[in-house]
Amino acid sequence: MKFKVYHLFIFFAFVFTTNTFAQVDRRIAPGQYKRAKSQNEKYDLVAETVKYYKKEFSLDDFQAAAVKEIISSEKEAITTLREQQGITKEEMRDRASAINERIDAKIEPMLSKDQLKKYIEFKEKRKG
pLDDT tens for the chain, 128 residues long, are 556 767 777 776 666 665 555 555 556 555 555 555 555 557 788 899 899 999 999 999 999 999 999 999 998 888 888 888 888 889 988 998 999 999 999 999 999 999 999 999 988 888 76
Q: Where are the domains of the chain?
A: 45-127
- pLDDT for the residue numbered 10: 74
- Rounded Cα distance, 91 and 119, in Å: 25
Helices 45-57 and 61-83, interaxial angle, to 10°? 140
